[in-house]
Amino acid sequence: MITRFAPSPTGGLHKGHAFSALTAWTAARAAEGRFLLRIEDTDFTRCRPEHEEAILDDLSWLGLDWETPIRRQSDHRAEYAAALEDLRDRGLLYRCFRTRKELMTTAGMAPHGDDPVDAQAFAHGPHDPAEEAERLARGEAFAWRLSLDRAHQVLGGFGALTWVEEIHRPGLHTARPERLGDMVLGRKDIGAGYVLAAVIDDAAQGVTHVIRGEDLVEVTSVQRVLQALLGLPTPVYRHHPLILGPDGLRLAKRDRSATLADMRASGVGAADLRAELGF
């Protein structure tokens, strides 16, 4: 078994991150397998070296160890760019100039909605060629979206795309990417994003079991499509329950959830936190 924990250095880790890291680490150790740490820093506009240092410090404090060298996505941009180019050349991507706010407004939904993928289903496909040329000439920012229509044609449908899930509704799952719509795989400013990069990384690192929060269950369908399009292996997935805050909502950096650094400063010990989280 080869597992991984893949945080983004955009802020401090919280209890939810600790639970996910401990779950993956414990599974690997129990199976006498390997535990990998990956830094997902594709978005250089938000990632900071000091946050990465804090992540390593927090994980060491929790008692985790991992193989070195650590894979950092910022060192592999050329690989992701090559994958994007391959998908573009095969007509599987299109430029989208619509912002999340525009998509949500068009759909009659709140632009500040909590679902990270709810706006994707309203992308509505490529722009009119004349409009696209005009907006490109103005230098407007755009995203590269995966065309599910084209992917469906290339793959002959999605019914044969399956994966094994061991925690969240255990069993064999069939990819149903339609709910998410045409997801963003890259942006003009930063290149490839998480959805594509994670698929490439997992294959490159030989990850056999992807252990992560159940909030990413739906994304797995799109990543399964990408694995098929790029000829990459499909790992087993374990989507574990989320750690919720006092308000019953999942913990999130953007909500300024209490960080592990905050807890440590208040006197919480690593053993206490591990016990609280069931380890």
**Residues that are catalytic:** 253
The closest alpha carbon to 198, from 165, 234, 171, belongs to: 234
Q: How far apart are CA 145 and CA 192, in angstroms?
A: 11
Phi, psi of 222 (to 5 degrees): -70, -40
DSSP H or E segment with residue 54: helix 49-62
Q: How far apart are CA 186 and CA 154, in angstroms?
A: 20
Long-range contacts, stretch 159-164, CB < 8 angstroms, 24+ apart:
161/221, 161/224, 161/225, 161/228, 162/224, 163/220, 163/224, 163/234, 163/235, 163/236, 163/237, 164/236, 164/237
